[in-house]
Chains A and B, each alone.
Chain A
Amino acid sequence: EAGVAQSPRYKIIEKRQSVAFWCNPISGHATLYWYQQILGQGPKLLIQFQNNGVVDDSQLPKDRFSAERLKGVDSTLKIQPAKLEDSAVYLCASSRPGGRHEQYFGPGTRLTVT
């Protein structure tokens, strides 16, 4: 089966600009996660969707970050305006709903804010 797809793979922007990342989860995976991985750290959850509803967005900086998952499939994560400290790899993962299912990760989008 096809894995989790993400685009773009790399993005360089200036501070105060906006940027959007796209994720297409594995077919049939109702649960979708966005993680932020700052260099030298482990990934940290930003937001979790179950179908198109938000399960956990407690770590999402809502003044500048937003995410949506229309129709319960693809998802978009947006940053507006970007800050230098947003430089990181943004990882999307998906899993089957319920129980203790493995999370499958996409290749990530590396964002550099200058």
Chain B
Amino acid sequence: GDSVTQMEGPVTLSEEAFLTINCTYTATGYPSLFWYVQYPGEGLQLLLKATKADDKGSNKGFEATYRKETTSFHLEKGSVQVSDSAVYFCALSFGNEKLTFGTGTRLTIIP
């Protein structure tokens, strides 16, 4: 079945550091890919998405590129802030079907 594998956490970085959270997927066909974020005490929010190969999703300084050849969708940010501390989930879906999530990566940014 479809699955998502993402970088084990937790990840701790200093403010203004460069962030990469790895995500790879296994699926039959070409799904849409997503990054969701869960801030402390809040629900899941969509951070960015890409619906086809070579698309780049971006939002709030975060970026991820849909790489069909490596089945990857790595999340990057050039300079993280304390407010980016959260749990990040990579996910895939086909059309309006269910989201299949990775296990999540907890990110903590130290001032």
Smallest Cβ distance from B27 to chain A, in angstroms? 14
- B77 / chain A contacts, CB cutoff of 8 Å: none
Give the interface centre of B44, B103, B104 by most chain A CB atoms within 10 Å.
B44
Q: Are B43 and A56 in contact (CB under 8 A)?
A: no
Residues from chain A with Cβ under 8 Å of B4 in the complex: 42
Which B residues from 36 to 68 make CB contacts under 8 A with A?
36, 42-46, 49, 51
Chain A residue, CB-CB nearest to B99: A103
- B5 CB to nearest chain A CB (Å): 11
Contacts across chains A and B counted by CB atoms under 8 Å: 56
> Which B1-56 residues have C-beta < 8 A from chain A?
4, 32, 36, 42-46, 49, 51
Q: Is B89 positioned at the interface, with any CB of A under 8 Å from its CB? A: yes
In the complex, what residues of A have CB within 8 A of residue B36's CB?
Answer: 105
Task: Tell me if A22 is interfacial: C-beta within 8 Å of chain B.
Answer: no
**Cβ-defined partner of A102 (8 Å) among B42, B46, B95:** B46
Identify the A interface with B (CB < 8 A). 3-4, 31, 33, 35, 40-45, 48, 55-56, 91, 93, 95, 97-108
